[in-house]
Structure 1
Amino acid sequence: MLAMQYGFDLPDDFDMDTLRRRIPEIGGRFDALPHLHLKAFLLAGRTATAPNRYAPFYLWDDPAGAAGFVTSPDFAAVQARYGRPLVHGWNPIAHLQGPAAGQVPRFATQYFENLPDTTDLVQRAADERDAAAELASAPVVHSVFAGLDAQGWQVNRTVLWQGPPPASAAGRVFELLYLSAPRGVRSSGTGDAART
């Protein structure tokens, strides 16, 4: 498994509703990507400390799927629309389903932390597995991914939530506008139902 993400910061006056309308229309195109475990279309509005952001998050069952996607016409269309993004990747430390795994998630939180050279990686990985297990026990959690970028030495903790995350949740909160998940629950594209 491999996690992959790219994102785009959007101007303060960008009409976010255009993406809220567009994403459910195009989301189904990604439901059958080879080797895709899931793709979460994430959108966050501007805050006092962060700009508007569109940031698709992918989990691939096989890294070959990621390579195939970034060299595909679909990714070329992303580049044509927004410019070529930096594509980040994380190897899994933990990936757990929560009690809401059978429901369509509507929100996500993402927490990133850069690790100093003095980090005990054995202990940190154990801590991330423990944190993932604790998060995955919450009733509204769909799934939890914790991963490590061993080039940039960064930890990524991404949680998909069926309902609004608690105020105590670490990281930035995103709307999850469509979920492509070939082997599980995914968005219907209408926001009303799920299909498996």
Structure 2
Amino acid sequence: MHAMQYELSLPADYDMGVVRARVARVGHLLDDWEGLGVKAYLIRERGVHGSPVNQYAPFYLWNTVDGMNRFLWGGAFQGLVDDFGRPSVRQWAGLAHAEGAGTAAAFAVRRRQPVPEGMELDELSEYAVTETERLAAGDGAVLAAAAVDPSRWELVHFSLWEHAAAKAEGDVFEVLRLSAPGRARLPRGRQW
């Protein structure tokens, strides 16, 4: 599993209806994308759920790097670049994934945190697995995942929820749409 996200921070007075309409218009294009586990079309609106910004920030869980590369370099990503400019694309190596009992994702929570200096790597990986399982077991959880960026030593926990009162800490996003052609093939549990 490979995780990926880009964030498009938009002006405070930006009409987020433009993003909603764009997702409604083109979101279906990844519903059968080979190599994609899950794409959550996420937004944050300034003043809603504690967000200080307007932002479009899709989050991806990929089954294959080939699928991700086809998306980025094969033309699909160019449409977003044409509309909004070229964002920085963050990538993390997957550590854990767990499915929850929830069915319809309405909200997502993303928590990024630095890996403390001196933390043993096996301790990091065990923490990531345990936290992923804890999140996925929460009431209303749809799924949870953990991944790490070893170039920055940053751990990210990502979870999808049926309701906003999630049992997770971090940035809260509204899920506009979920494309999940390979969700059933995402490897469960630890990723090593």
| 2:56 corresponding residue in structure 1 | 54
Please state how far the C-alpha of 1:77 moved relative to its aligned partner.
1.1
Question: SS of the residue aligned with 1:133?
Answer: helix
Do 2:34 and 2:181's aligned partners in 1 also have CA atoms closer than 8 Å? Answer: no
| 1:104 corresponding residue in structure 2 | 104
Structure 1 runs (4+) deviating above 6 angstroms are: none
- Kindly tell me: are residues 49 and 29 of structure 1, through their superposed partners in 2, closer, same or farther at Cα, counting changes over 3 Å? closer
- The percentage of counterpart residues that share the same residue type is 32
| 2:69 corresponding residue in structure 1 | 67
- 1:22-68 deviation digits (Å, cap 9, x = unpaired): 21221111111120111000000124773211101111111111111
- Kindly tell me: are residues 163 and 63 of structure 1, through their superposed partners in 2, closer, same or farther at Cα, counting changes over 3 Å? same
Please state how far the C-alpha of 1:148 moved relative to its aligned partner.
0.6
* TM-score, normalised by the number of residues in structure 1: 0.87
1:115 is aligned to 2:115: yes
- 1:70-93 deviation digits (Å, cap 9, x = unpaired): 112221111111111111111111
Q: Matches of 1:27 and 1:165 in 2, distance apart?
A: 26
Structure-to-structure mapping, 1:105-144, within 5 angstroms: 105-144=105-144
Q: Matches of 1:7 and 1:80 in 2, distance apart?
A: 15
| 1:25 corresponding residue in structure 2 | 25
Q: Which consecutive residues of structure 1, in runs of 5 or more, have no partner in the other structure?
A: 186-196
Q: Matches of 1:133 and 1:7 in 2, distance apart?
A: 26
Q: Matches of 1:44 and 1:65 in 2, distance apart?
A: 26
Q: Matches of 2:61 and 2:51 in 1, distance apart?
A: 28
| 1:172 corresponding residue in structure 2 | 171
What root-mean-square deviation, in Å, do the aligned CA atoms of Structure 1 and Structure 2 show?
1.7
- 1:101-145 deviation digits (Å, cap 9, x = unpaired): xx2211100000122432222112111211111111113000001
Q: Matches of 1:26 and 1:84 in 2, distance apart?
A: 18
Q: Which consecutive residues of structure 2, in runs of 5 or more, have no partner in the other structure?
A: 185-192
Please state how far the C-alpha of 1:152 moved relative to its aligned partner.
1.4
Question: SS of the residue aligned with 2:87?
Answer: coil
